[in-house]
Amino acid sequence: VPEVDGKAARRPFEDDPQESPTITVLSAIATALAVPTSYLFEREQVIAGISVVRRDEHRVVDIAPGAINVVLGHPVEESNIHFVLLELRKGAESEKVSSHPVGSIERARVAEGRVEITVADEKVQLEAGDSCSFIADRPHGYRNTGLGTAKVYLVVEFGTE
């Protein structure tokens, strides 16, 4: 245990719960730091700087045969926005998502290949470089209509209801 002035050093409030700050004090600290109060309770924090996820560290989710979602970046607790890379092998399609919460918006940009996006009863064909956005609280899905693997970047902003 490190020592300070001949006494064992400890973190404030570590040993005596009666010394713990009130929620009012924590709220004031959070306000002064310009962070949400919940930030003070998180074990791993990125207050400043760049959070990096290396290519072999991304979370990969199999969503259907020949279709995967690669979750890009670290999720941010207070955020309702997800950044995803959808990869569809030739002929593959994502399972049709029944819907996201009310008010959700999905933005898609085709990076490689050709895809058909279906939202409710509407269909649209997109090629590399094309993008679209739609209200995502309706059933929707993606299908590769090209000759090779299709890659689509998605930004999904989930509604709050």
Per-residue pLDDT 10s for the chain (161 aa) are: 444 455 554 444 444 555 666 777 777 776 777 766 666 665 444 445 667 777 788 788 888 888 888 877 766 666 788 889 999 999 999 978 777 888 899 999 999 999 999 999 999 999 999 999 999 999 999 999 999 999 999 998 888 76
- The confidence score (pLDDT) of residue 154 equals 93
pTM across the whole model: 0.65
What is the DSSP secondary-structure string of the chain? --EETTEE---TTSS-GGGSPPHHHHHHHHHHHTS-GGGGG-SS--SSS-----TTTSEEEEEETTEEEEE-S---TT--EEEEEEEE-TT-BPPPB--PSTT-EEEEEEEESEEEEEETTEEEEEETT-EEEEE-SS-EEEEE-SSS-EEEEEEEE----
| Cα separation, 96 vs 120, whole angstroms | 10
